Amino acid sequence: MMRYSVLLTALLAMTASMEARSQPSLRADADGTQTGSATNAASMDSARDIVLAVANPISPPATHAGSSLIGYAPAAAYGAGQRAISTLAALQRRYGWRELTGWPIKSLDLYCIVLEPAEGTSRDALLKSLAGDDRVQLAEPLHEYSVYSDRAAPPRRYNDPYVTLQRGFVETDAALAQTLSMGKGVEVAVIDTGVDTRHPDLQGRIGAVQNLVDDSASAFNRDHHGTEVAGIIAAVDDNHRGIVGMAPGATLDIYKACWYPPQPHAGARCNSLTLAKALAAVLDTDARIVNLSLGGPADPLLSRLLQRVLGAGRIVVAAMPPGATLDGFPDGVPGVIVVRSSGSGAAPAGVLSAPGVDILTTQPDGGYDFSSGSSMAAAHVSGIAALLLSVAPKLDARGLHDLLAHSSRTSDGTLQVNAAAAVETAGGMARLAH
């Protein structure tokens, strides 16, 4: 009886010893997570280290009375079995590597380690030797992988000298948005004053041009307001000149419906006739976006035309009028996306906020200067809309408005539209749709 008791004690001790050897040493990190005590994964070298696997058969515990005592080892003790331990010890003596970490793969009956070849040993030579060793189930280089995240891409860099001075471009993260979309293939109708079509930063960006005010080509090219709006939306990128537009891949159709009175410093004016002619002309095109950086009283004719434009699936972006009273044209027409210049106070319900103060943009005669107002804010949103439609062409006006609202970010204490967040969201939506 005494001899049986001694034997039992010895066998239990041996079992405990084997269990301890079979389990990777674990420690608790500060957050309570248990991790292997071996080398941290981030410190492993994919240019040096090797993954090696050996057979690791584990027999299930026997259930009949004649079983050995070792057979009663608990299932939780699964790790490196005696065969794997012996094989790895023999291989290590033969090849002299340093083991960094090890773990069992129960579903494959394997035990894997990551090893560092002995100093002076070529990894390729060691891999070749291990491949020819019948004790080895698998030997391969430690590979590295990358997550596929569009946001991981760095913002685009430009050779345009004034890009860092473009407050709106910088604050809306447009350079990051343009790693995903440039607005290519999107047509934007700009109903405004004329535009300097000869401006170097607008070359190749202008499609159709209509003067609905007069026949003066020189006055058309001297107009400031339309030139400013056009530059914000689609100024050419990487041409070693001036600025970068929010959507430099988009095409602008210019409809001159407004003009400057002869009085000095007077603001541009439009009327029901010229605006009606412009809206009717847009209906005959494929333009998806209409920028109306203007406003005035409600007008039944213009409202009917604008409703027809909206009903045709066009996205209309308008500037919020001074005083924030939204009952005129075009701001009072349901479905129009109204944009204000970002300010310290909260925006009226449904109104988007965009940069509109001290915005550097194009000017007639090939120049550049700063301009302010909700007209500039609306132009930023029209540019972002072009970026969005380029990656998600099925977006409608309501969906685009809500996307811009929900993806707005706080910049310098102000909540305003963010091109990068909006384009990333739209891209994800488009991928899910497919």
Which residue among 49, 160, 173, 192 is the active-site one? Answer: 192
Torsion sign across C-alpha atoms 27, 28, 30, 31? positive
Q: Does the annotation mark 284 as catalytic?
A: no
Query: What does each C-alpha distance from 115 to 40, 127, 129, 138, 183 come to in angstroms?
Result: 13, 11, 14, 13, 50
Beta-carbon-side half-sphere exposure of residue 186 (alpha carbons within 13 Å) = 32
Tokens linked to 402: 């809500």
Render the burial of 397-434: b for 16+ CB within 10 Å, e for the rest. beebbebbbebbbebeebebbbbbbbbbbbbebeeeee
Query: What does each C-alpha distance from 279 to 221, 301, 378 come to in angstroms?
Result: 21, 11, 18
Which residues make beta-bridge pairs with 210?
A: 255
Which residue among 225, 299, 371, 380 is the active-site one? Answer: 225
Burial of 100 (C-beta count, 10 Å sphere; 0-12/13-18/19+): buried
CA gap 383, 93 in Å, rounded? 67
CA gap 250, 188 in Å, rounded? 7
Q: Is 187 left (phi over 0), alpha (psi -120 to 50) or beta?
A: beta
Q: How far apart are the first and last CA of the chain?
A: 75
Tokens linked to 366: 């090939």
- SS3 of residue 167 by DSSP: helix
Q: Is 75 left (phi over 0), alpha (psi -120 to 50) or beta?
A: alpha
Which residues make beta-bridge pairs with 359?
A: 371
Q: Does the annotation mark 375 as catalytic?
A: yes
Whether the bond into 330 is cis, omega within 30 of 0: yes
Torsion sign across C-alpha atoms 374, 378, 379, 381? positive
Q: How do the residues of the chain divide into helix, strand and coil, expressed in percent and rounded to 5?
A: 35, 20, 45
CA gap 235, 201 in Å, rounded? 5
Which is nearest to 230 in space by CA: 411, 414, 24, 371?
371
Which residue among 22, 181, 374, 375 is the active-site one? Answer: 375
Q: Which residues contact residue 198 at a Cβ distance below 8 angstroms, ignoring those fewer than 6 apart?
A: 221, 366
Catalytic positions, written as ranges? 192, 225, 375
